[in-house]
Amino acid sequence: MTRLTDEAGISAVSRPDVARVMIGGEDLDAPTAPVINPARVAEVVGSFALGTARHVDLAVRAAVAAFPAWSALPAAARGEYLLRAADEMAGHVPGWAGTLTREVGKVLPESRGDAAGAVSLTRYFASLAAEVAAERPVPLPLAGRGVLRHVPSGPAAIISPWNTPVYLTFLGVAPALTAGSTVVVKPPEDAPLAVTDALSVLARALPPGVVNVVPGRGGEAGAALAAHPGVRKILFTGSVETGKRVFRAAADTVKNVGMELGGNDAALVLRDAPIGPDLIRELIAGVFGLSGQVCYGVKRIYVDAGRLAEFTEAFTQTAARIAVGDGLDPRSTIGPVTTRAGYDKVLALRAASEAAGARVHVVGAKVDPARWEEGYFVLPTVVTGLAPDAPLVSTEQFGPIIPILPFADEDEAVRLANGTEFGLGASVWSADTERAWRLARRIEAGSVFVNVHRVGASPMSVPFGGFKQSGVGRNHGLESVLACMEQQVVLEFDDAAAIPGTDHWSALLLPPARGDVP
Q: Phi first, then psi: what are they for 293, rounded to 5°? A: -100, 55
pLDDT value of position 10: 27
What separation in angstroms does the CA of 249 have from each of 162, 242, 456, 510? 21, 11, 33, 44
- pLDDT digit string (tens) for 277-311? 999 999 999 999 999 999 999 999 999 999 999 99
Return the active site residues: 260, 295
Q: What is the spatial distance between Cα 134 and Cα 140, in angstroms, rounded to a whole number?
A: 19
User: What global pTM score does this model have?
Assistant: 0.93
Amino acid of residue 439: L
Say how many CA atoms lie within 13 Å of 224 toward its Cβ: 21
The 3-state DSSP class for residue 110 equals helix
Q: Positive or negative, the Cα torsion across 293, 294, 299, 302?
A: negative
* Fold entry, domain 265-465: Aldehyde Dehydrogenase; Chain A, domain 2 (3.40.309)
Q: What is the spatial distance between Cα 444 and Cα 423, in angstroms, rounded to a whole number?
A: 6
- pLDDT digit string (tens) for 183-223? 999 999 999 999 999 999 999 999 999 999 999 999 999 99
- Rounded to a whole number of angstroms, the CA Rg of the chain reads 26
* Fold entry, domain 3-261+477-487: Aldehyde Dehydrogenase; Chain A, domain 1 (3.40.605)
Whether 186 and 192 have beta carbons less than 8 Å apart is answered as no
Residue 256 pairs in a beta bridge with 233
The segments of the chain whose pLDDT lies below 70 read 1-16, 505-518
Asked if domains 3-261+477-487 and 265-465 share a fold, the reply is no
Show me where the domains of the chain are located: 3-261+477-487, 265-465
Report DSSP state, residue 218.
I
